[in-house]
Structure 1
Amino acid sequence: MTDLSTRYLGLELRSPLVASSSPATSGVDRVRALADAGIGAVVLPSLFEEEVAREQLRDHALAEVTEDVHGEAASYFPAVPTAETGGVTRHLRLVEQCARAVDVPVVASLNGSTAAGWPRFARRLADAGAAAVELNVHVVPGDPATSGRDVEDRHVEVLEEVRAVVSVPVAVKLSPYFSATGEMAARLDRAGADGLVLFNRFLQPDVDPEAMTVTTGFALSTPAEARLARTWVAILRHRVRASLAATTGVEDAADVAAYLLAGADVVMTASALVRHGTGHVRVLLDGLEDWMRRHGLTSLEQVRGRLAVPATTDPQAHERAGYVAALEAARRTYGELGAAAGPP
C-alpha cells in the first residue's frame, strides 16, 4: 500500500496534490468536491490589493458624507455595504465557509504589488479560518528607474510585515524573473517564509497587428513549461528550510512524479483542473500511486528529492554541465538532420 501523506508549511496533508488558486477553487461546492476527490489542500482565489483599495475608498467616502450629519437624522444615512455588495466581505465569507466545509487545509491568497494593507488583510484572512496565507507579490517593474534590488526588497518587506501579524504559516509565490533566484529564495527563507511556490505565471499582453491593438488574454499552462520550475526546485531542495511547492505544467501523473523527484513537498495544479474538472484529481493521484508501485516505492519519502542537486554539489557547475550536455545532444540530433538534408 502506498502512503501519499506529506507535510507542507508545517501542515499535515493526506496527499501531495494541491489545488492552486483558480476558478476550480472559487466556491464552497467546488472546494468540497476537490476534498472528496482526495486533494491534499486548496488555495482559494486571490484577494486582490485593488479590491481592498476600492472598498477602503468607498468606506472613506461614506464616512465623509455622513460625518457632519446630526445623529437624529440616521434615516438619511446612505446604505452601508453588506456582505452581498462588499468584495472583501464576500471573500472573507468564502474563506470561512470553505474552512468549515472540508477537512483539508484551506490556504488564502493575497495578490498585490505594494506593502500597503497586506498585514491587516492577511490577519483578517487568518481570523476567517485560513490554515495558511500565500503571498502573491505581482510586481512588473516597468519603470526603468526601478532596480532589481528594489523589487527584491519589496518582496521581503511584504513578507516580514505579514509574518509579524499572523500566527499561521506564510508562503510566498515567486516569479521566475529574478536575476538571482537562489539568493532571493534564501533571503525569503531567512525572513521567515514557511514555503516558496515556484513559479507564478504572469498574464502578458500581446499585439494584434491586424486590429493594431494591444490584446490581453490567458493561456492554460502546458507540461513544457514545467522545466524551469523543476530546475529550481531541484537546486533549492537542500538549500532552504522552507517547504517547496511546485506549480505550472501539471497535466498527468508523470508531471507530479517528476516534480516530487526534483524535491517538491507538494505539487500544485490549476490548468488541469480547469481543463478536465474536479475528477482529474483522482486520475492524478491514482496515476501517482501506480507509478510508485511499479517502481517499488511505498512512501513519498522514498521519492522526494531523489533527483535534487546534492547539498555538496556546486549548483552553478551542476547546471552548467547539464546545459553543455543538452547542447551536445541537440547537436548530435539536429546536426545530423541538417547533414542528411544536404545542401539546398
Structure 2
Amino acid sequence: MDLTTSYLGLPLRNPLVASASPLSSSVERVRRLADAGVGAVVLSSLFEEQLRREDLRDLLLREAHEGSFGEALSYFPTLATEAPGGARRYLDLIERTASAIDVPVIASLNAATSGAWVEFAGWMQGAGAAALELNIFALPGDPHTSGREVEERHLEILQQVRAAVSLPIAVKLGPHFSSVGEMALRLHEAGADGLVLFNRFLQPDIDLRAMRVEPGFGLSSPDEARLPRTWIALLRRHFPGSLAATTGVDQADDVVTYLLAGADVVMTASALLRHGVEHVGVLLDGLGSWLESGGHHSVAEVRGLLAVPRDVDQTAYERAGYVAALEHGRATYAEVAAPERTGRPPG
C-alpha cells in the first residue's frame, strides 16, 4: 500500500503529521514521534512575544552598561547577529531534531503582528528547518478594527517572513474571515506555499464559583473537524498550494475523511496526547486497511474524491447543503417536537 504524499514540496512517507504540541518540544519526544511512524513533525511553537521580550531584555542590558568603560563593548549582546537565550534554545532544537530523525522537521512561529522579530525566521532556516509553519493568531478585540485591516495584517506578517526565508511556508489561520476562499488565494499570492486549516481559538470561560475568567483549553473532538473539512473540500480545486487539515482527528476514519475532502496531509496533536504516541500506528494501520478494503492502492487515488468540483456554483452548493441539513434535522426530530404542538406531554 502506497501511503506516500507531498506537502509544501516535501516528499513524505505518509500523510500523518504531528502538529505543534508539547510532544514536539524536545529531541527525545520528536524522535519518539518519528519512530512511531509520522510523516513529518511540526515543532512546538515559538511565540512572537518571546522574541520581543528577549530583545527588550538585551536592550535594557545594553543601556544599563553603555558608556561605563570602553572594554564593556566586548560583552554587549549583538542583537542583529546572535539569537537570545530562549530563541537560541529553539534553534538548537531545530538543529538537533533535524539531524536526529529521517522525516522533515517543520519549525513553527506563532505571531500576531509584524516587526523586527521576523528576522528569526531566517535563523530557523539556517538551523535546518525543512519548512516553516506561520501560525497567525490575531483576534481583533477592538470593535473599530475592520475586517480588511485584519486581512492586511495577516498579509503583512506573511510578506515580511517570506522576505526573510526561501523555505516553504504554510500559514495556519483561523476560520473567521468574511470570505475564507478569497483570503486563501490572497495568502498564496503573498507567498504562502500552503495553508493549515484551521487554528483553534481557545476561548476563555467564566468560573461561577470563583467569579473569575478562566483560560479555555481542551483537546479537540471529531465534531470540530466539520468546519475545516468543509473548507478543504471547497478550496481543493481552487487553491494552488498544499492543504493541511488539523483539528478533530482522533481515529483513522477522521484521517480518511480529511483525505477524501482533499487534504494533502492530516495533522494531529490531541489524539496523540489523549491516546499516546503509539496511536500513530493505529491511525496508519486504519488508513491502510480502509484503502485496501475499497480496492485502492495509494493515498493519491482517494485524495479529493469528495472535494467540490471546480465548475460547481459553490455558494449554491453550500446553501443546498445547509437547507438539506435543516430538512434532515426536522425529519429526525419531528416526533420529539410533536407533543409540543399538540399540547400533550411527551412520552
Flag whether TM exceeds 0.5 (same fold): yes
Q: Percent identity?
A: 61
Q: Which residue of 1 aligns with 2:272?
A: 273
- Are residues 70 and 40 of structure 1, via their aligned partners in 2, closer, same or farther at CA, if it must alter by over 3 Å? same
Counterpart of 1:197 in 2: which secondary structure? Answer: strand
After superposition, the C-alpha distances for 1:32-52 in whole angstroms (9 at most, x for unaligned) are 111111101100011101100
Q: Which residue of 2 aligns with 1:42?
A: 41
After superposition, the C-alpha distances for 1:32-88 in whole angstroms (9 at most, x for unaligned) are 11111110110001110110011101111111122212235689x79999x9x8111
Q: Which residue of 2 aligns with 1:311?
A: 310
Q: Which residue of 2 aligns with 1:233?
A: 232
Query: Distance between the aligned counterparts of 2:207 and 2:333, measured in 1?
Result: 33
After superposition, the C-alpha distances for 1:270-315 in whole angstroms (9 at most, x for unaligned) are 0011111111111100110011111111111111000000001111
- Are residues 124 and 72 of structure 1, via their aligned partners in 2, closer, same or farther at CA, if it must alter by over 3 Å? closer
> Please, what is the CA RMSD of the aligned residues?
2.0
Further displaced range: 6-15 or 85-94: 85-94
Alignment TM-score, normalising by the size of structure 2:
0.94
- 1:118/1:158 contact within 8 Å kept: no
Paired AA for residue 171 in structure 1: A
Q: By how many angstroms is 1:155 displaced?
A: 0.7
- Are residues 169 and 78 of structure 1, via their aligned partners in 2, closer, same or farther at CA, if it must alter by over 3 Å? closer
Q: Which residue of 1 aligns with 2:222?
A: 223
Q: Which residue of 1 aligns with 2:68?
A: 69
Q: Which residue of 2 aligns with 1:327?
A: 326
* Structure-to-structure mapping, 1:182-261, within 5 angstroms: 182-261=181-260
* Structure-to-structure mapping, 1:128-147, within 5 angstroms: 128-147=127-146
Q: By how many angstroms is 1:217 displaced?
A: 3.1
Q: Tell me, which stretches of 5 or more residues in structure 1 are unaligned? A: none
- 1:251/1:272 contact within 8 Å kept: yes
Runs (4+) off by over 4 Å: 72-75, 77-81
Paired AA for residue 235 in structure 2: L
Query: Distance between the aligned counterparts of 1:207 and 1:30, measured in 2?
Result: 34
Query: Distance between the aligned counterparts of 2:103 and 2:250, measured in 1?
Result: 22
Query: Distance between the aligned counterparts of 2:214 and 2:198, measured in 1?
Result: 24
- 2:15/2:39 contact within 8 Å kept: yes
Q: Which residue of 2 aligns with 1:12?
A: 11
2:131 aligned with 1:120: no
Query: Distance between the aligned counterparts of 1:203 and 1:293, measured in 2?
Result: 38
Further displaced range: 66-75 or 327-336: 66-75
After superposition, the C-alpha distances for 1:150-181 in whole angstroms (9 at most, x for unaligned) are 00011111111111221110010010111111
- 1:159/1:191 contact within 8 Å kept: yes
Q: Which residue of 1 aligns with 2:22?
A: 23
After superposition, the C-alpha distances for 1:76-127 in whole angstroms (9 at most, x for unaligned) are x79999x9x8111111111111111111111111111100134301111111
Q: Which residue of 2 aligns with 1:302?
A: 301
- Are residues 43 and 205 of structure 1, via their aligned partners in 2, closer, same or farther at CA, if it must alter by over 3 Å? same
* Structure-to-structure mapping, 1:333-344, within 5 angstroms: 333-339=332-338, 343-344=344-345
Q: Tell me, which stretches of 5 or more residues in structure 2 are unaligned? A: none
Counterpart of 2:304 in 1: which secondary structure? Answer: coil
Query: Distance between the aligned counterparts of 1:190 and 1:259, measured in 2?
Result: 25
- 1:41/1:105 contact within 8 Å kept: yes
Counterpart of 2:113 in 1: which secondary structure? Answer: coil
Counterpart of 1:68 in 2: which secondary structure? Answer: coil
Q: Which residue of 1 aligns with 2:109?
A: 110
Counterpart of 1:39 in 2: which secondary structure? Answer: coil
Counterpart of 1:4 in 2: which secondary structure? Answer: coil
Counterpart of 1:42 in 2: which secondary structure? Answer: strand
Query: Distance between the aligned counterparts of 1:131 and 1:37, measured in 2?
Result: 20
After superposition, the C-alpha distances for 1:160-205 in whole angstroms (9 at most, x for unaligned) are 1111221110010010111111111111112121010000011211
Counterpart of 2:43 in 1: which secondary structure? Answer: strand
Q: By how many angstroms is 1:340 displaced?
A: 6.4
Counterpart of 2:238 in 1: which secondary structure? Answer: coil
Count matched residues. 341
- 1:28/1:94 contact within 8 Å kept: yes
Query: Distance between the aligned counterparts of 2:8 and 2:268, measured in 1?
Result: 17
After superposition, the C-alpha distances for 1:216-249 in whole angstroms (9 at most, x for unaligned) are 1310000000000000000000011110000000
Query: Distance between the aligned counterparts of 2:309 and 2:135, measured in 1?
Result: 29
- 1:199/1:229 contact within 8 Å kept: yes
Paired AA for residue 120 in structure 2: F
2:174 aligned with 1:175: yes
- Are residues 73 and 206 of structure 1, via their aligned partners in 2, closer, same or farther at CA, if it must alter by over 3 Å? closer
- 2:197/2:246 contact within 8 Å kept: yes
Paired AA for residue 94 in structure 2: V
